[in-house]
Amino acid sequence: MNTARTYRKLYKQKLATAEALAERVESGNVVCSDITLAQPSGLLNALAQHVKKDGLTGVKQHTVLDVYPYEMYQNADLLGSLTGISWFSSGGARKAINGGYGDVMPCYYRDIPSLFEQYVDVDYFFAAVSPMDSHGYFSMSTVGSNSEAMMRKAKHIIVEVNKNLPRALHSPMVHISQVEGVCENTIPLVVLPQAKIDEVSQTIGNLIAEQIPDGATLQLGIGAVPDAVGMALKNKHDLGIHTEMFTDSMVELIECGAVNNSKKPIHTGRTVATFAFGSQRIYDLINDNPAFELLPVDYVNDPAVIAKHPNFVSINAALEVDFYGQVCAEAIGTKHVSGTGGQVDYVRGAVQSPGGMSFIAFPSTAKGGTVSKIVPMLTQGSVVTTSKNDVDCIVTEYGIAKLRGRPLSERAKALISIAHPDFRDELTFAAKKQNIII
């Protein structure tokens, strides 16, 4: 009979050190982990040591938004023996990709589960999980994301239990009978430094907040501007959250009562995200909270699911936007900065939602005011994140340019009108030279 005692016995049988478990990986194997706090730092550090000590070759490690300083992203000498492939990069992967010793996977976040299922032969799925419950289940904690697909694809599942990880009631689970090894690593949870909301971000936040009706459902992206929008919504009522990343400003909105999810037609009364990352306040809010759902990204970020919410509002950031409204949020020329993530999923979902709106918002300039982020052409070598055919509204501290449904000449004029005044003449000159303003 399967009782709590049987599961504990199984747990003890499978318990080993991170080093012993990592040593099961062989040359040529493929290892993957999911996003942010689902990454098991003990196992992944032990893997790097094993590769070096035992001279393994051809091991590939897939990462999504790396949050630990992985050795393969710090040490170019590991290329070929332990090679990182990033599906969404932060600091570490960015350095390796730009340094020529890390690889990058072009993808929409919502497609990662199906891309793994179709194209990646996974040997090992390594995951950080919260402690096992009396029924033998480990919660994937703050992460819905890709874990279910990665587990379906992996030949071997190994988990690292961190007692500090919150237990989410609605997140993917893995059972002790499914895992081949367990290690324990009680470490503090990674927290994101609070984004600094300066005057410009505050102005942009207020401009967008004016557009958001009571009862709207929100997605807020990464960065100071989406955070500023969140902070500017505290006086609204009956807001809902259906988002990719759950962030600190959303905790504020729940705690002050602006968000109650009461108007959402699906998941009514519950906050939905595909992962949560930020401060300890977020992790405390998730723990044992039935009003929180952390669900797989192929569901959460599906534009058809997003569009089911009337008045859906999506807010994301960008690095550059050209006269067509092509949005680059992931590179500056050939310099890799970030990934596509869920930006396009939410732009598409929001514009299909009845009364929905998508805002791509950013300060009008970068580099201390020396560079306009609205440009005639994207910097050579850059990539398009959101296409001209999907884009809806662009916002800077000078206003909102509605692009959707407008021809190129009107788009260019609207964009120039919200560029920094110091750059408007040269942008107008360029638009005329390109025969765009007619």
Which residues make up the interface to ligand COA (CB under 6 A)? 221-224, 244-245, 316-320, 329-330, 332, 337-338, 341-343, 366-367, 371, 373
Q: Compare residues 155 and 335 and give the one whose CB is closer to ligand COA.
A: 335
Decide: helix, strand or coil at residue 112: helix
The Cα–Cα gap between 395 and 327 comes to: 12
Q: Are 395 and 385 in contact (CB under 8 A)?
A: no
- Is 244 part of the annotated catalytic residue set? yes
CB within 8 A of 367, min separation 6: which ones? none
CB of 293 to ligand COA, least distance (A): 17
- Minimum CB separation of residue 157 from ligand COA in Å reads 27
Token output for 425: 């003449």
- Cβ closest to ligand COA, residue 47 vs residue 331: 331
Query: Which residue has the CB atom at the shortest distance from ligand COA?
Result: 223
SS3 225: helix
Nearer to ligand COA, 42 or 325 (CB): 325
The span from the CA of 262 to the CA of 302, in Å, is 21
Residue number, 29 or 39, with CB nearest to ligand COA: 39
CA atoms within 13 A on the CB side of 318: 33
Nearer to ligand COA, 244 or 397 (CB): 244
Instruction: Yes or no: say if 242 and 267 are a contact pair by the CB < 8 Å rule.
Output: yes
- Two structure tokens written together for 81: 């023996």
Which residue in 190, 185, 248, 222 sits closest to 68, CA to CA? Answer: 190
Compute the distance between CA of residue 424 and CA of residue 412 in angstroms, rounded to an integer. 11
Three-state secondary structure call for residue 153: helix
To ligand COA, the closest distance from the beta carbon of 140 in angstroms equals 19
Q: Which is nearer to ligand COA, 61 or 365 (CB)?
A: 365
Shortest Å, Cβ 57 to ligand COA:
33
Distances (CA, A) of 250 to 203, 259, 368: 19, 8, 29
How far lies 269's CA from each of 217, 241, 242, 260, in Å? 12, 10, 11, 6
Can you tell me the distance from the alpha carbon of 144 to that of 244, in angstroms, rounded to the nearest whole number? 10
Spot the catalytic one: 71, 244, 293, 320.
244
User: Smallest distance from the beta carbon of 375 to ligand COA, in angstroms?
Assistant: 7
The catalytic residue positions are 244
